[in-house]
Amino acid sequence: MSHTLDETKFSKPLIYMLIGSAFILALSLGIRHGFGLYLVPMSHEFGWSHQVFSLAIAIQNLLWGAVQPFTGALADKYGSKKVVAIGGVLYCIGLLLMSVSSEAWLLNISAGLIIGMALSATSFSVLLSAVGRAAHPSKRGMAMGIASAAGSFGQFIMLPTTLLLIKHTGWSSALVIRAILVALCVPLAWMLKAPMYVDPHAKPMSNAPSMSFKQILKIAFSHKPFLFLALGFLVCGFQVVFLGIHLPGYLIDHGFDASNGTIFLALVGLFNIIGTYTAGYLGDKYSKPHLLMWLYGLRGIAIIAFLSLPLSLWSIYSFGIIMGLLWLSTVPLTNGIVANMFGVKYLTMLSGIVFFTHQIGSFFGGWLGGLNHDLTGNYNLMWMGAIGLSLFGVVVHFFVNEKVVVHD
């Protein structure tokens, strides 16, 4: 069926929504991307082992994932606008509490519990679902790609600015300034008003009963390709967090400067902008499961190449650029597959379930990386794990398809 250009064009409310989502994701994920930079100054001031801060961040990742399906269900029921606004308030409170966290238990509550919950309301699952819902199905991948790219831009911008703030104002004031910034998510949430896209040519299905949460969950959990997709996303979480948290340490072990690790992460953020947008664009044209197979395969090849070549600034920064292109490119594709399978009515909750496995991967990528290093003084087992999981990611997406399971 050919669509006229007018139908597939982004509507004005959708463009406002994309701008709002872009800023919210840039703030929410950008601030989160810089959390690692507080580890040394906070641990130093309070005499903590690195384990204390790492545990708080691990709690944050795990809670973010565990709460995500519920936050998603709330967004599906009451609208993304309200959920994002509440998330912005929580994020602000969490950062303010974190700025006065002199005890480990308080850090677990502020950086772990409160910010973990706030992230579930202000990150990909909620915002990409809102954007995907309002876009024409043929442009859905592209719309999600644009919003994801903005989150990457936030990561790129926030890293160096966080470093400067900590250096010039101290870690506590830096967190207060970030809290004031993240409060902007509350007014920005009001830009998320685009209505759900309705095909003007669709036959009205007034007599078809709409599905309950319970029914859709039952269908999703008995649909094997959906479960394989969720398993594949675990690989993404493991690799991204292992590299994000531990690559700077790996470089320091090999005699490089801490700033080289920061530049690596900034390059990842910068090239991620191109990667996520391109993935979204290609996802509208080609098979998304096949694109994901390529992505995970290329990640594995990149890691093998990085470990095989002599370690130099050239190899570190090239690895940053290549991993940046492949970093969060999985996000618009994975969410796009969920939308194709089950439609957009319960998209936030269902992509939240898939994201939970991503966060389980994140938890192990961060925690096992530290454990491997504490026990052996190197990251060899983790590198092997990351390569093995790439292969697993390729195989598992072979069993994923985009067939429509539920017509919304």
As a whole number of Å, the end-to-end CA separation of the chain is 18
Lowest mean pLDDT among 76-85, 130-139, 193-202, 343-352: 193-202
- DSSP state letter for 208: S
What's the rounded Cα separation, in Å, for the pair 271 and 276? 9
Q: Is a pLDDT exceeding 70 seen at residue 205?
A: no
- Measured CA to CA in angstroms, residue 182 lies from 31, 228, 301, 374, 394 at distances of 8, 35, 37, 35, 37
Entry pTM:
0.88
> How many Å apart are CA 115 and CA 91, to the nearest integer?
5
Distance between CA atoms of 136 and 24, rounded to whole angstroms? 22
List Cβ neighbours of 72 (8 Å cut-off, separation of 6 or more): 125, 126, 129, 348, 349, 350, 351, 352, 353
Average pLDDT, the chain: 91
| Residue 189: closest CA among 87, 96, 64, 335 | 87
Look at residue 109 and tell me whether its pLDDT is greater than 80.
yes
What tokens does 198 get?
């309705």
- According to the model, what pLDDT value does residue 382 have? 96
Size of the chain, expressed as the number of residues it contains: 408
Contacts of 2 (CB under 8 A, 6+ apart): none
Copy the structure tokens of residue 253. Answer: 């072990």
pLDDT-wise least confident of 157-161, 221-225, 322-326, 359-363: 157-161
Averaged over 287-294, what is the pLDDT? 98
Q: pLDDT at position 374, please? A: 81
Tens of pLDDT, residue by residue over 141-192, are 999 999 888 878 887 888 888 988 998 999 999 999 999 999 999 999 999 9
Sign of CA dihedral 206, 209, 214, 220: negative
Share of the chain above pLDDT 90, in %: 71
pLDDT band at 204 (very low <50, low <70, confident <90, very high): low
DSSP output for 283-334? HTTS-HHHHHHHHHHHHHHHHHHHHHSPP-HHHHHHHHHHHHHHSSTHHHHH
Q: What is the pLDDT of residue 227?
A: 97
Residue 208: the pLDDT is 54
Q: Does the pLDDT value for residue 85 go beyond 90?
A: yes
pLDDT of residue 289: 98
pLDDT band at 131 (very low <50, low <70, confident <90, very high): very high
Question: Does residue 2 surpass a pLDDT of 60?
Answer: no
Q: How far apart are alpha carbons 37 and 264 in whole angstroms?
A: 14
How much is the pLDDT for 318? 98
The domains found in the chain, sorted by start residue, are 11-196+213-397 (1.20.1250.20)
CB of 369 closer than 8 Å to CB of 382: yes
